[in-house]
Amino acid sequence: MVLTAAQKQAELNAALARAFAALADPTRCAVVELLRARPQRASDLAAALDMAPASLSRHLRQLERSGLVAADAVENDARVRLYRLEPHVFASLGDWAAAMHDEWRQQLEAFKSHAERGAAAPSAAPRRRAKR
């Protein structure tokens, strides 16, 4: 099935919303920061964050559902999973932020030009109120 441009944009918007919702939690942001250095096991992440592994598990599931993090099985130990960042999702977030930045920069530059033109225009003499 071929998606229309509107459908593709809707999917991108939904993915961005999931990513931003996941990053809204300070614990999940801390996990992302730790994973920036290298992939890590859940037990290592829990220790670094001084959290119980069961508590961290909920955050890792949310990060996985958002697509920000993926988990890979470790060779020789099926119980251990190695968590890593998914760069393509962060690239999408960066692209979106850059587009928003460009849009606002253009809007602010247009406003500045408008304000400067208005300030440079000669002002009319103030009107006096008619006496009653």
pLDDT in tens, 41-86: 999 999 999 999 999 999 999 999 999 999 998 888 878 899 999 9
CATH class entry, domain 5-86: mainly alpha
* Coil vs helix vs strand at 78: strand
Q: Greater confidence, 128 or 43?
A: 43
Phi-psi region of 115 (alpha: psi -120 to 50; beta: other; left: phi over 0): alpha
One-letter identity of residue 26: P
Mean pLDDT, rounded, of the chain: 87
**What is the mean pLDDT of the segment spanning 100-121?**
79
Integer Cα distance of 97 and 82 in angstroms:
29
| Cα angle, residue 33 at apex, residues 88 and 95 outer, rounded to 5° | 30
| Whole-structure pTM value | 0.72
Q: How far is CA 71 from CA 15, 27, 48, in A?
A: 18, 18, 18
Q: Give me the sign of the Cα torsion angle 100, 102, 104, 107.
A: negative
| Cβ neighbours, 10 Å, residue 68 | 22
